[in-house]
């Protein structure tokens, strides 16, 4: 973590003011004066002093589940002036999205300030399942489902679903549950285009043990300690 970010996260000052404090020579790391705000520290091991008084770690991690509506972007900034999902969360402080959910998709997306938690969910090594309810044009035949599970080569990358199960019919179209362990951009949409059953609607309902539940579009909640600890247990 950058030194200036650590000082800011501890509530000493804003990021910009923290940089000024560091450049003024008032900060020591392991009893050595540090003048560069971009220096990386390990806040769990390094001792940081302000005017010879130790800055105690006071970083409060926040974990939020949001039901992202359609026509909101997951990114924190947008040059096209589209609506930003982060603005639906009335919680102060810096939060970043854990992965993405594309503009025309809706459902569960997580926001946090805990990089370790985010890495566990996003890194393929931990194989965190993501479940989607997907409405496709027409009906998937057995051969289509087998192709999705075997994997489809898209832009030189093999994309596959762990499971695909029928949910219900909707006029001439049908809903399916897709479970994947990857997070490639628009992966399910591209896979369905490849088998000639384009996606008409896509809702993410689960990430690992964290479920969308009864959250309405635009609503959010804080994760429980149990939900967070079960994700972090994956790292052990």
* Interval 180-201 mean pLDDT: 95
Query: Per-residue pLDDT tens for 149-189?
Result: 999 999 999 999 999 999 999 878 999 999 999 888 899 99
| pLDDT attached to residue 236 | 65
Asked if pLDDT for residue 219 goes beyond 80, the answer is yes
Q: pTM higher than 0.85 for the full model?
A: no
Task: Output the pLDDT for position 58.
Answer: 65
Query: How high is the pLDDT of residue 113?
Result: 87
pLDDT by residue (tens digit) across 74-91?
999 988 999 999 999 999
Contacts of residue 113, Cβ cutoff 8 Å, sequence gap at least 6: 9, 59, 61, 62, 93, 94, 95, 96
**Of the given ranges (13-22, 32-41, 147-156, 201-210), which has the lowest mean pLDDT?**
13-22
Q: What pLDDT shows up at residue 14? A: 67
Residues identified as active-site: 102
For residue 192, is pLDDT > 90? yes
Question: What average pLDDT does the chain have?
Answer: 92
Domains along the sequence of the chain with CATH: 3-54 (3.10.290.10), 63-229 (3.30.2350.10)
Answer yes or no: is pLDDT of 118 > 70. Answer: yes
11: burial class by Cβ within 10 Å (0-12, 13-18, 19+)? exposed
Distances (CA, A) of 59 to 95, 127, 212, 229: 13, 28, 27, 17
């Amino acid at each position: 973590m950058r030194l200036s970010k650590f000082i800011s996260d501890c509530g000493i000052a804003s990021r910009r003011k923290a940089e000024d404090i560091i450049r003024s020579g008032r900060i020591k790391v392991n009893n050595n004066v540090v003048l560069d705000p971009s220096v990386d520290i390990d806040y769990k091991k390094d001792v940081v002093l302000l005017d010879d008084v130790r800055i105690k770690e006071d970083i409060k991690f926040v974990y939020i589940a949001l039901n992202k509506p359609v026509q909101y972007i997951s990114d924190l900034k947008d040059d096209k002036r589209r609506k930003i999902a982060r603005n639906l969360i009335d919680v102060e402080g810096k939060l970043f999205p854990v992965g993405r959910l594309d503009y025309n998709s809706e459902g569960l997306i997580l926001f946090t300030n805990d990089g370790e938690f985010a890495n566990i969910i996003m890194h393929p090594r931990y194989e965190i399942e993501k479940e989607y309810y997907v409405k496709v044009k027409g009906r998937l035949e057995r051969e289509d489902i087998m192709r999705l599970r075997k994997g489809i080569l898209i832009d030189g990358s093999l994309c596959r679903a762990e499971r695909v199960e029928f949910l219900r019919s909707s006029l001439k179209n049908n809903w399916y549950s897709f479970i994947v362990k990857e997070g490639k951009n628009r992966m399910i949409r591209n896979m369905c285009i490849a088998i000639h059953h384009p996606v008409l609607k896509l809702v993410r309902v689960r990430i690992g043990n964290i479920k969308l539940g009864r959250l309405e579009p635009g609503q959010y909640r804080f994760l429980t300690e149990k939900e967070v600890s079960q994700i972090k247990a994956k790292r052990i």
